[in-house]
Amino acid sequence: MQASALARGPAAREPVGVIGCGWVGLVTAACLAELGHDVHCRDIVVEKIAALERGEVPIYEPQLAELLERNRARLHFTTEIGPLIEHARLLFCCVDTPPTYSGDADLSRVEQVVEEIGDSPDHALVMKSTVPVGTGRAIARRSHGLAYVSNPEFLKEGSAVDDFTRPDRVIVGAEEDASGFADRVASLYEPLEAPVVRTDVASAEMIKLASNAFLATKISFINEIANVSEELGADVAEVALGMGLDARIGPKFLSAGVGWGGSCFGKDVLSLKQLAGNTGYHFQMLTAVTEVNELQKRRTIGKLQKHLGHLVGKTVALLGIAFKPHTDDIRDATSLVLAARLQGEGARVRAYDPVAAERARDVLVGTELCATALEAVDGTDAVVLVTEWPEFRELDWAGEVYERMVTPLVVDGRNFLDHRALVAAGFTYEGVGRPRAALAPSPA
Ligand code: UGA
């Protein structure tokens, strides 16, 4: 975070509680502390709190460690809810809401938090966790006194601190009886000078789910345009550029690739679909959005087979394991699907990621995890670029990489590399949505 962006200081200092020190909770806590507020953070995992007290950060997120360090005096860590109730009136709920087998969200951790706080008219539960539409009203109906404010987060992993500093909007949803608490939540964000949208609770909850579902739809749409472009000779990068300049469409989230991953899009698309289904409404588009994404992940295998034939005994390197760059998160990452599919086809798989390899150790069973990108590409028949980490662009493709590979085949799952340079160096290059003619070597 640009320290100066937050240095304007808060309109009023407000001690806050943050329940759940996962990724959302920690980023929220660190940024609120940077804004000058005292933040009391609680997590039930004793080792996590002990590590945070020692100044260790359990997740990789750019700028987070510096921010926690700089604001140590304003950050208080505990395993108990008591200190939060004692010191703060606004209690941010940042616990996990993973999907259940039915596709509905598992709200057991949220329920636990509500129970622990109890019926306190002096406190508001400020919901940052993504919850189904209707959750806030149901909680408010049951609890006698505890106010409820919905304040969904729109942070992206890998740029969460910047996203907090420069939000496109802040959503604060509350019913009439909690409007005083909603004002206090809104004023926390005042120094960021972002538009604040005040709504009822259900609409705030829907804004969160609909935004993630729409972004996933946008990516699945451009991925389908990419697939058709490959057949018809158009270049999806140019198509996205041309489309994105239309202000009604916008340029962001139009990068075609190996499919979206991460813990949010899949869960939220499913949650919205199930919520609609529970009311008897069939949300048809969302079924397609997910299906397109699953097929997209697998298309890479077809591209390898096109050039290598069957993959039995072939060695393939995956560059990038994390679901996106600048994070060590591997939840729902395309790399996991690719590694399993490749092994299913009889290939040997190697993988490298600058930060996510350690997390992948127990998950990528049978995949050889390498210490460097060059080690991963050594002796391979193909390289698949799965995550667009900047260091992959810096590799000496024409020299060291080319020399180390048995077959110089690159499947660039993010259209990230300089395809002209690669083709000129003698590689066979496959991107996503790039016309074949552009990838053929130029006649001598
Ligand atoms: C997403 C939303 O973007 C955040 O606004 C939201 O707060 C968050 O979920 C959440 O609900 O917690 P995140 O999952 O961290 O954020 O990451 P994104 O940057 O949205 O990327 C998601 C996936 O889409 C990644 O696999 C990425 O590679 C892929 N992607 C993104 C594309 O394939 N193409 C694009 O143009 C953009």
pLDDT in tens, 214-272: 999 999 999 999 999 999 999 999 999 999 999 999 999 999 999 999 999 999 999 99
For 290-301, give the DSSP string.
HHHHHHHHHHHH
State if residue 292 touches ligand 1 by the CB under 6 angstroms criterion.
no
How high does pLDDT run on average in the chain?
94
Check residue 321 and give its pLDDT: 98
Residue 272 to residue 295: CA distance in whole angstroms: 21
Return the ligand 1 atom nearest residue 208 CA: 11
State the catalytic residues: 264
pLDDT digits (tens, 9 = 90+) for 335-378: 999 999 999 999 999 999 999 999 999 999 999 999 999 999 99
Q: Report strand pairing: 124-127 vs 90-93.
A: parallel
**Whose CA is closest to 355, among 392, 316, 396, 320?**
320
State if residue 323 touches ligand 1 by the CB under 6 angstroms criterion.
yes
Alpha helical stretches, state H, 11-100: 23-34, 46-53, 64-70, 82-87
For 184-211, give the DSSP string.
HHHHHTGGG---EEEE-HHHHHHHHHHH
State if residue 162 touches ligand 1 by the CB under 6 angstroms criterion.
no
Return the ligand 1 atom nearest residue 254 CA: 36
> Are 14-199 and 244-439 equal in CATH topology?
yes
Q: Assign domain 244-439 one CATH number from 1.10.275.10, 3.90.79.10, 3.50.50.60, 3.40.50.720.
A: 3.40.50.720
| Contact of 128 with 204, CB cutoff 8 Å | no
**Exposed/middle/buried for 15, CB within 10 Å: 0-12, 13-18, 19+?**
middle
Return the ligand 1 atom nearest residue 219 CA: 34
Q: Report strand pairing: 409-412 vs 428-430.
A: parallel
Check residue 442 and give its pLDDT: 58
Check residue 144 and give its pLDDT: 80
Alpha carbon nearest to ligand 1 atom 36, residue: 253
CA-angle at 439, arms to 433 and 440, nearest 5°: 145
Q: Report strand pairing: 147-150 vs 124-127.
A: parallel
pTM, to two decimals? 0.94
Distance 350 CA to ligand 1 centre (A): 25
14-199 is a CATH 3.40.50.10090 domain: no
Check residue 443 and give its pLDDT: 54
**Whose CA is closest to 354, among 330, 366, 371?**
371
**Four-CA torsion 155, 355, 348, 309, nearest 10 degrees:** 50
Percent of the chain having pLDDT more than 90? 90
Residue 87 to residue 188: CA distance in whole angstroms: 16
State if residue 219 touches ligand 1 by the CB under 6 angstroms criterion.
yes
Question: What burial letters (b/e) apply to 402-425, b meaning 16+ CB within 10 Å?
Answer: bebbeebbbbbbbbbbebeebbeb
Backbone angles phi, psi at 210, to 5 degrees: -65, -35
| Contact of 21 with 53, CB cutoff 8 Å | no
Domain ranges of the chain: 14-199, 244-439
State if residue 339 touches ligand 1 by the CB under 6 angstroms criterion.
no
Check residue 11 and give its pLDDT: 54
SS3 content of the chain, % helix, strand, coil (to 5): 45, 15, 40
| Segments of the chain with pLDDT less than 70 | 1-12, 437-444
**Whose CA is closest to 138, among 114, 118, 154, 122?**
114
Residue 117 to residue 368: CA distance in whole angstroms: 47
Residue 425 to residue 407: CA distance in whole angstroms: 13
Residue 269 to residue 71: CA distance in whole angstroms: 36
Residue 223 to residue 217: CA distance in whole angstroms: 10
